[in-house]
Amino acid sequence: MIEFKNVHKTFEGRASVHALRGVDLSIPSGEIFGIIGQSGAGKSTLVRCINMLERPDSGEVWVDGVLMNSLSPKELSKSRKRIGMVFQHFNLLNSRTVFQNIAFPLELARYPKKDIVERVTVLAELVGLTDKLQGYPGQLSGGQKQRVGIARALATQPRLLLCDEATSALDPDTTISVLRLLKDINERLKLTIIVITHEMQVIQEICDQVAVMENGTVQETGRVVDVFTRPRSRAARSMLQGFWDPKLPSALQSTGNTILRLTFANQKVHQPVIAQLVRTCGVDVNILYGRIDQLKTAPFGILLVELVGSNEQRSQSIAFLQENQVEVEVFNP
Ligand SMILES: Nc1ncnc2c1ncn2[C@@H]1O[C@H](COP(=O)(O)OP(=O)(O)OP(=O)(O)O)[C@@H](O)[C@H]1O
Ligand SMILES: [Mg+2]
């Protein structure tokens, strides 16, 4: 479990930047936890405070019951071996082979040579790079480079993996394959993974919980399905807007009829709620847009519908949908 308690961090300079403004956040063990927010929100700073690459000015950072701020340099360096880090631009050593890159943290930790060979072999297999061990980073694709980065981060058997925009430099297909690898690692090794991203898709694919950051604060946290279906903060809503909703043609926006945005989660996706709505409330429903998708493992659907009927029928319809656990919002394009 990782806990931030009222963490503040200011970068002093010609213009000082208050990058973290009283962050409180709990990250449970064993899950994939996403941190999302616009550029400059403070995501990287927050995560770098976990292993004290950045020191908070005030507040506490706890990792598995240890107050990280209070550690001596020696204790800190020991703790850092339990925390792996993966970066957007891989940060590989280009003059070293793949084997030597993965082995690097083990050499620093003075593992015996035989153990290093064994460990690197296991890691290469885990990330699917067994046949590339003698190659150099310059000979690898972006996805393969990131697999080396992940293997290296896992070398000293961390309990926690921090990924800062690990897929931001990759194309969509490669992104998916690296995300699958992270999910697989989380399940197999049972380690906690923190994923920083500005892409909703990353959260959608692999995260259990998410924190939405804005301007140095955490605006909202929760299970991904809850934040995606019932965002409470303006920050979460604005991150989701471009992700789920289409742009409706202007002709459709000005019909004067009510347009509703319906969100279905879990079992509701399987039920013929719209057919029941038409039968029960006698309203005509014009479907403008629909999408069904998956949040990690849970099905999730969105419909934009136009209701044609009397005022009374429309209010009855909204009540009916809400009684059936469908999230209803009047859609303002
Ligand atoms: N070492 C530093 N010195 C001065 N200012 C910094 C430093 N690191 C970060 N900042 C500032 O702190 C704020 C938060 O930065 P941070 O890198 O944490 O944002 P971020 O959410 O990770 O953004 P991005 O999505 O662009 O990576 C920004 O305004 C940034 O300019
Ligand atoms: Mg960042």
Going from the Cα of 36 to the center of ligand 2, the distance in angstroms, rounded, reads 10
Question: Looking at residue 332, what is its pLDDT?
Answer: 67
The whole-chain average pLDDT of the chain stands at 91
Asked whether the whole model's pTM tops 0.85, one would answer yes
How close is the Cα of 39 to the center of ligand 1, in Å?
A: 8
Residue closest via CA to ligand 1's atom 31 equals 40
Residues with CB under 6 A from ligand 1: 11, 13, 17, 19, 37, 39-45, 198
Mutate to test the pocket of ligand 1, among 10, 11, 35 (most ligand atoms within 8 A of CB): 11
Over range 74-92, report the average pLDDT. Answer: 92
Q: What is the 3-state secondary structure (H, E, C) of the chain?
A: CEEEEEEEEEECCCCCEEEEEEEEEEECCCCEEEEEECCCCCHHHHHHCCCCCCCCCEEEEEECCEEHHHCCHHHHHHHHCCEEEEECCCCCCCCCCHHHHHHHHHHHCCCCHHHHHHHHHHHHHHHCCHHHCCCCHHHCCHHHHHHHHHHHHHCCCCCEEEEECCCCCCCHHHHHHHHHHHHHHHHHHCCEEEEEECCHHHHHHHCCEEEEEECCEEEEEEEHHHHHHCCCCHHHHHHHHHHHCCCCCHHHHCCCCEEEEEEEEHHHHHCCHHHHHHHHHCCEEEEEEEEEEEECCEEEEEEEEEEECCHHHHHHHHHHHHHCCCEEEECCC
Q: Cα(285) to centroid of ligand 1, in Å?
A: 47
Q: Is the pLDDT confidence value at 266 over 70?
A: no
Domain 2-241: give its CATH superfamily.
P-loop containing nucleotide triphosphate hydrolases (3.40.50.300)
Nearest ligand to the C-alpha of residue 42?
A: 1
Q: Do domains 2-241 and 246-330 have the same CATH topology?
A: no
Least confidently predicted of 27-36, 59-68, 104-113, 281-290: 281-290
Query: If you take atom 16 of ligand 1, which residue's CA is the nearest one?
Result: 42
How many angstroms does the Cα of residue 205 sit away from the middle of ligand 1? 26
* CATH code of the domain occupying 246-330: 3.30.70.260
Domain boundaries, the chain: 2-241, 246-330
